[in-house]
Chains A and B, each alone.
Chain A
Amino acid sequence: MAESSSLTVERPGLLTTVQDAGRRARALGVPEGGAADPVARRLANALVGNPAGAAGLEVTLGGPTLRFHADALVSLCGAPFEARLDGPFPLWRAVPVRKGQTLSIPGTPGGARAFLAVRGGLHGQEVFGSRSTDLRTGFGGLEGRSLRAGDRLSWFPSAPALPPRAFVSPDLHTPTGPDLTLRVLPTPEATPDLLAVLCGSTFTVSGQADRMGARLTEPVPAPHDPTRVSLPNPPGAVQLPPDGRPILLLSDAGTHGGYPTPLVVARVDLPALGQLRPGDRVKFRPVTVEEAHAALLRQERALRGVEGALRWWYKGV
């Protein structure tokens, strides 16, 4: 009669995967993985009283329909998906779900991804300390693949709690397109000419955009260096393959690459990078390391403020 803490996937959505904060095994060739929008992941988890790195579902463009077999407390943060739970479902809040209810997350008018946290955190295969799904090699999460209709997911038990009435200030929502400016840091591979073209143009995100990277449509003159050796890819690297169409690397990108990397997206804008969808227009704005760190510190202070307040709430109940 009483079913365990689980849900059934009625419709899987376009690409729904189990993700958490990712893994640290790059030195073994293993991609980082993890939710492409880490701010959404942290806030969604904080809203339901989870640790920042608890596993949840990353939904992409067209989301899933999920039937709950037990009461749960959930939150959805990220792109402005139009979700429903017997009525409109608010984002950026903790929302109680009753046993038997169905949550549907059909789509979003802008941005690409959102993170659905469930109080307690989702189960999933743990590899190198992370439950994130690695789609390319096929491990982690749910059998290393995206959700299918009929899948059942369960979550760790957690003390029942009253949801906080708080919602997240829109200042902390990750920006979404169709027009985005990403702060970038030039690398020694950016010649003045190349930098002028990259930072003076507007690019369009092509249809080739997945968890590994987002390819831009407009080519720039790519430096030709067949002797360039493979080097480690930092998060947010902007690669230039020989055809000159830049690739912005995302969470599932390979650990090393042989293409020139003239720009790296500032860490503060990695969440925005995770929200790019085909058709979005992107500009690059060069900043200094100091400017990038000051922006990151502002973002981090605001995030920790919210996380701290929510932790206090859950301790109090």
Chain B
Amino acid sequence: MSQEGRTTLPEITPLGDAALVVRSPLARELLAELTASPLPGVGEAVPALDVLTVLYDPLVAPPEALTANLAARLAELTGRAGGTGRTLALPVTFDGPDLAWCAERAGLDIPDFIRALCAVPLEVAFLGFTPGFAFLTGLPGELRMPRLDTPRDRVPAGSVALGGPWAGVYPRETPGGWRIVGRTGAVLFDVGREDPVLWRAGDRVTFVEVGGPGG
């Protein structure tokens, strides 16, 4: 954060009267820090890519004081916190309706496209949208796919899809605008489990082919 004695002011802006938005590459590390050692008045901190939205109770924490507290916390972070150390291999059957379109766009035949996708070390950047949905980051440029112009009304649960810079898996049937390349039987959200959500931000993920058009 600090260079030659000068501290860059982190960007912390209000969003409504009960949330602050922290924009920083250290957002995920700040979330870990706030979880380990909560600040008074903070109800929840919700991550996105290089963003942490902090929901607070204005009756407990005035926004000026909370902004100062968050800035102080950020200044103490090292930027060295890595992932969770966990690696998940997700079994995928590559038979999605957009598979051929995506392969052609990538300039590959289907088997090479699948091999390329399975070779990518993905990482859970953050969870959101719907319970258990993970935004997976790490796609190289040629595997990034534009979203559909019109989202599908129904994307089946377990669909493995590509959208913009992201890869993702739909935990349950929802509308969705990403390009579906396959499906997995992995259960991403199950309230019957001790930990209902399969993964956490910082987990490393790879797709493993378990069948498809080529067998």
Interface residues of A (CB under 8 A from B): 24-31, 125, 127-128, 134, 136-137, 139-140, 185, 187-188, 229-232, 234-237, 254-256, 261, 264-267, 289, 292-293, 296-297, 300
Contacts and interface: CB of A to CB of B under 8 A. Distances in A.
A229 B15 contact: no
A187 B19 CA distance: 11
A125 B196 CA distance: 14
A236 B16 CA distance: 8
B46 to A, nearest CB: 4
B34 to A, nearest CB: 10
Q: Which interface class (under 10, 10 to 19, 20 to 34, 35 or more) fits B?
A: 35 or more
Contacts of A31: 131
Interface in B36-56: 43-49, 51, 53, 55
Contacts of A267: 16-18, 58
Nearest to B135: A230
Interface in B132-158: 132-135
Contact of B48 (A24, A231, A234): A231
Given A29-B127, A234-B16, A265-B16, A127 B43 contact: no
Given A234-B18, A267-B18, 4 more contacts: A27-B126, A28-B132, A234-B55, A265-B16
15 contacts: A26-B128, A27-B127, A28-B127, A28-B196, A29-B129, A29-B131, A127-B196, A137-B131, A137-B189, A235-B16, A235-B18, A261-B15, A293-B58, A297-B59, A300-B59
Contacts of A125: 191
Contacts of A187: 15-16
Contact of B129 (A128, A140, A230, A235): A230
A31 B128 CA distance: 9
B131 to A, nearest CB: 5
A261 to B, nearest CB: 8
A166 to B, nearest CB: 24
A26 B126 CA distance: 11
Contacts of B48: 229-232, 256
Contacts of B212: none
A256 B128 contact: yes
A137 B49 contact: no
Interface of B: 13-19, 21, 31, 43-49, 51, 53, 55, 58-59, 62-63, 126-135, 171-172, 189, 191, 196-197, 201
A137 B130 contact: yes
A291 to B, nearest CB: 9
A234 B18 CA distance: 8
A209 to B, nearest CB: 18
A104 B201 CA distance: 47
B178 to A, nearest CB: 12
Contacts of A25: 131
User: Among the interface residues B31, B48, B55, B128, which one has the most CB atoms of the partner chain A within 10 A?
Assistant: B128
B128 A230 contact: yes
Nearest to A188: B13
A232 B58 contact: no
Q: List 7 A-B pairs, minimum CB-CB distance, nearest first.
A: A264-B16, A256-B128, A292-B17, A232-B53, A232-B46, A234-B19, A29-B127
Nearest to A134: B131
User: Among the interface residues B17, B43, B48, B172, which one has the most CB atoms of the partner chain A within 10 A?
Assistant: B17
